[in-house]
Structure 1
Amino acid sequence: MARELTQLELLRELEPTAEENVNRHLKVARDWNPHDYVPWSDGEDFAALGGQDYDPERSELSDVAKAAMITNLLTEDNLPSYHREIADNFSMDSAWGHWVGRWTAEENRHGIVMRDYLVVTRGVDPVALEEARMIHMTNGYAPELAAGADRVEEMQKHGEDLGILHSVAYVTFQELATRVSHRNTGKACNDPIADRMLQRVAADENLHMIFYRNICGAGMDLAPDQTLRAVTDIVTNFQMPGAGMPNFRRHGVLMAKHGIYDLRQHLEEVVMPVLRKWDVFGRTDFGPEGEKTREELAAFLEQLEKDATRFEEMRDRSLAREAAKAAKRAS
């Protein structure tokens, strides 16, 4: 049985792939300016400068769009926590360090443009948004959200910590999940300016996903069993990075109910495309432990399919009841 590689060995062996993908990213990434995506002419002073404070009646966003925008923005706001987590598990030298800095700078634009849009258009209450930002950033990001508290505890018993493989596996799925969420939020806003802005953000998230997916794919070739264990830990315990933010559960339910991000999208637009790219269920280089892990992953995905179907049936019934009530009120 092949021994597990240390974090230092993984970083060293994967560095050429990191360098190749940093160079690839720099060639295809498009620079853009947040201020070009904000309708500044809609802005006006708030009460502190002699204007009027937020009035919910003036917001043109639906409750669903508000929930999605707030959730997506607070996720972007927590960037320092994600930066710290990635910086701790990557080397800050050579290509690794360059990527950490570049990724952080690009992600920071997302929070800038989304907040500017919401404040200028008075789409959400800026005071409540700031209070939620303070709470969420103070709480920070915990690795347990990625791999599950039980798995983290088990690893610590054996003197192990979550490392680069867990980190790149998590951000691969997380970046793709946020791409889906941003894209669908843009449509839900019913505003061409917001849609264009979030298309731009989603395009960045997709490029980031490709970087991490390629690193994790190289890890799968280098240490198949070890990487699949990390991937399975992430997939079977995955939570969106907004977990723990104020009103996350309420907002998450609204987003799932109205097609911003639900179990079916998570399975078919996020998890399965990535697993197919790595050929997880077709490759023949897993050892006994890898085969056991693959069976665990397959069983989880089968249950996730059932859960997605069950949720869709419940959602359809709920939406039908709401439509019937609305029709009755209108008659």
Structure 2
Amino acid sequence: MTKELTQFELLRELEPVAEQHLNRHLEMAKDWYPHDYVPWDQGRNFAAMGGVDWEPSQSRLSEIAKVSLITNLLTEDNLPAYHREIAANFTQDGAWGTWVGRWTAEENRHAIVIRDYLTVTRAVDPVALEQARMTHMTTGVPTPTDPRWGGVLMQVAYVTFQELATRLSHRNTGKVCDDPIADHMLQRVAADENLHMIFYRSLTGAALDLVPDRMMDDINYLVQRFEMPGRSMPNFRRYAIMMAKHGIYDPRQHLQEVIEPVLKHWNVFDRTDFGPRGEQARDELAAYLVKLDQDATKFEEQRDRMLAREAARDMQIA
């Protein structure tokens, strides 16, 4: 029986790949500054500073744009919880530690710029936003109680999918804002998320080569249980449904723009280096993707019927 590598041994074996892709990231990443993406001339004082407090008529965003921006921001706000999780699994030594620090610093810019934009433009209620931030960060990210959860392999695989999902959500949110400033800002954020995804995707690919059966088993586990990190925020379920309804992030996009492209990049279904454990995991994953496709079709049919009813109702009102 082949000896299972310990977490320390996995980190040691994968560190040259981490260093290679850390250096690639540093070459590819472009410096940018949150203050350059915020329309400061739209700002004015709130009541505590002699101005006027927020009220709904001040926002120029649609309801779905507000919901999406709040969801994206609160997801980014929980960075300390993500940092703890990644630092615990990657360690803070060598290339791993350098990546953890760099990734954390880059992610923090996303919350800074989105919050500044929302506050300056009075797009959402800043008091409610702060209350939601406090609640969400106090809760953190619920860690699965499944004993299989955790470790460097599962972490790099999970964050690969999560970063790509977040990129898609930011990009599509920019499109519904009907504000070129917001769209430009969120394109910048999405570009960061894409580079982060590439780092994690590369590490997972290297892990597939190093321990194919074990990594395939973890990928199968994660895809079947995938949840966004913002799931503990207030109103997350209601907001997620609204975002799916309006095409910000729906089951079809999750399958075709997140899961399938990553699996294709890893060549999961054409690999020939799996043993019985990996083969079984791959077969289970293939069956689950069929179910995901069926679920996406059902959702689309329900959404189309709902939108048709809403359109007919609006016609009657008009």
Partner of 2:221: 233
Map 1:87-166 → 2, pairs under 5 A: 87-144=87-144, 149=145, 152-153=146-147, 155=148, 162-166=150-154
- What per-residue deviation string (whole Å, max 9, x for no partner) do you get for residues 114-163 of structure 1? 0000000000100000000000000011232xxxx4xx14x3xxxxx510
Residues 225-304 of structure 1: pairs in structure 2 closer than 5 A: 225-304=213-292
What pairs up with 1:306-321 in 2 under 5 angstroms? 306-321=294-309
Counterpart residue identity of residue 232, structure 1? N
Deviations 1:8-47 (A, max 9, x none): 1110000000000000000010000000000000000001
Residues 1:11 and 2:11 aligned together = yes
* Conserved? CA contact 2:142–2:232, under 8 Å: no
Q: Quick one: distance in 2 between partners of 1:324 and 1:49? A: 47
Structure 1 runs not aligned, ≥5 long: 156-160
Secondary structure in 1 matching 2:229: coil
Tell me which amino acid in the other structure corresponds to 1:78: N
| Whole-angstrom CA distance in 1 between matches of 2:176 and 2:157 | 29
Percent of matched pairs sharing the same residue: 67
Q: 1:20 & 1:260 partners in 2: Cα distance?
A: 34
Is 2:179 the counterpart of 1:168? no
Deviation at 1:91, TM superposition (A): 2.1
Structure 2 residue 196 is matched with structure 1 residue 208: yes
Report the AA paired with residue 224 of structure 1.
Answer: P
Q: In 1, distance between residues paired with 2:78 and 2:24?
A: 27
> 1:24: which partner in 2?
24
Give the number of aligned pairs: 318
Looking at structure 1, the residues matched to 294 and 50 of structure 2 have their Cα atoms a distance apart, in angstroms, of 55
State the Cα distance separating 1:241 from its structure 2 match: 1.0
Task: Work out the CA distance in 2 between the residues paired with 1:232 and 1:5.
Answer: 19
Return the letter of the residue paired with 1:21.
H
- Aligned AA (2:109): R
Per-residue deviation, 1:251: 0.5
Task: Name stretches of at least 5 consecutive residues in structure 2 with no aligned partner.
Answer: none
**2:79/2:108 contact within 8 Å kept:** yes
Q: RMSD over aligned Cα, in angstroms?
A: 0.8
CA distance in 2, matches of 1:100, 1:179: 19
- Per the normalisation by structure 1, the TM-score is 0.95
Q: Distance in 1 between matches of 2:255 and 2:65?
A: 22
Please list every run of at least 4 consecutive aligned residues from structure 1 whose deviation after the TM superposition is greater than 6 angstroms. Answer: none
SS at match of 2:73: helix
Q: Please tell me whether residue 67 in structure 1 is matched to residue 55 in structure 2.
A: no
After superposition, the C-alpha distances for 1:211-255 in whole angstroms (9 at most, x for unaligned) are 000000000000001111111111100111110110001100110
Tell me the alpha carbon deviations over residues 262-288 of structure 1, each in whole angstroms, 9 at most, x when there is no partner.
000000000000000001110011110
In structure 2, C-alpha distance between the alignment counterparts of 1:291 and 1:143, rounded to whole Å: 28
2:140–2:232 Cα contact (<8 Å) kept: no
- Look up the SS of the partner of 1:284 in the other structure: coil
